[in-house]
């Protein structure tokens, strides 16, 4: 079984992906981390890298090809990324959402603890984070529509959707893990290279 996790910014998807991977003792692949590293290698923030991606598809294609290959050659893993459900269609597709306001508050709180996320410049208030998230959302929409003709924020693409604004992380984990446990026998077959 492959579990793909997507979601809105600041929804808690990374925390949930880590918790599920730990519970199942499966590897976790984090596409956002790969994109952040690629941005950093170019001396850019993630926001700048996304902007570059609006005219340069290579910024997305490297990560997307990596996802496709994982989906064709491996099984029993968690993958976290906005396009993972699309590039690994046989995955169990989970979407974790939060409002822009909640997401901004959570990210700002996290930035106060650790400032190595390489998000954007001058994220010194919740309002600045909110503005950055809104721009990132627009960039995601533009790039994924332009290159793949998909809407990663369309909830119809997913097998399970959970709103986290009014839930704590343990409640979210319990609901997501229950869904996974109830669907483990509905495993979609591993797609092999042809």
Question: Is the pLDDT reported for residue 35 higher than 50?
Answer: yes
How many domains are contained in the chain? Answer: 1
Tens of pLDDT, residue by residue over 17-30, are: 999 999 999 999 99
SS3 at position 48: helix
Q: Does the residue 191 lie in any domain? A: no
Q: Looking at the domain assignment, is residue 53 inside a domain?
A: yes
| Average confidence score pLDDT of the chain | 87
Q: Is position 194 within any domain?
A: no
Distance CA 166, CA 174 (A): 14
The answer to whether residue 103 sits within a structural domain is yes
Residue 192 resides in a domain: no
Residue 26 lies in a domain: yes
Sequence-ordered list of residues with C-beta below 8 angstroms from that of 57, at least 6 positions apart, any chain: 143, 147
The more confident residue out of 193 and 36 is 36
- In a domain, residue 115? The reply is yes
Instruction: Answer yes or no: is pLDDT of 176 > 60.
Output: yes
Q: Determine, yes or no, domain membership for 130.
A: yes
Closest CA to 150 of 110, 108, 71, 93: 93
Question: Residue 145 belongs to a domain with what CATH number?
Answer: 3.40.50.300
Q: pLDDT tens digit string along 66-85?
A: 999 999 999 999 999 999 99
φ, ψ for residue 10 (rounded to 5)? 75, 20
Tokens of 170: 């343990």
pTM for the structure as a whole: 0.86
Q: 91-143, pLDDT tens digit by residue?
A: 999 999 999 999 888 988 888 777 566 666 677 788 888 898 898 899 889 98
Instruction: Give the domain range for residue 151.
Output: 2-184
pLDDT at 192 over 80: no
Rounded mean pLDDT, 164-180: 96
């Amino acid at each position: 079984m492959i579990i793909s996790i997507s979601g809105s910014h600041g929804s808690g998807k990374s925390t949930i992906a880590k918790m599920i991977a730990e519970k199942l003792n499966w590897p976790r692949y984090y596409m956002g981390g790969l994109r952040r590293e690629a941005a950093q290698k170019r001396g850019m923030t993630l926001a700048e890298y996304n902007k570059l991606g609006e005219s340069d598809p290579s910024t997305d294609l490297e990560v997307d090809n990596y996802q496709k290959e994982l989906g064709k050659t491996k099984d029993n893993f968690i993958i976290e990324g906005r396009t993972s459900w699309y590039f690994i269609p046989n995955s169990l597709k989970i979407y974790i959402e939060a409002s822009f306001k909640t997401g901004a508050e959570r990210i700002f709180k996290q930035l106060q603890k650790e400032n190595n996320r390489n998000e954007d410049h001058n994220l010194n208030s919740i309002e600045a984070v909110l503005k950055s998230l809104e721009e990132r959302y627009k960039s995601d929409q533009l790039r994924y529509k332009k290159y793949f003709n998909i809407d990663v924020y369309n909830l119809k693409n997913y097998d399970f959707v959970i709103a986290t604004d009014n839930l704590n992380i343990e409640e979210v984990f319990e609901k997501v893990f229950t869904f996974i446990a109830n669907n483990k026998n509905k495993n979609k077959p591993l797609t092999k290279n042809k």
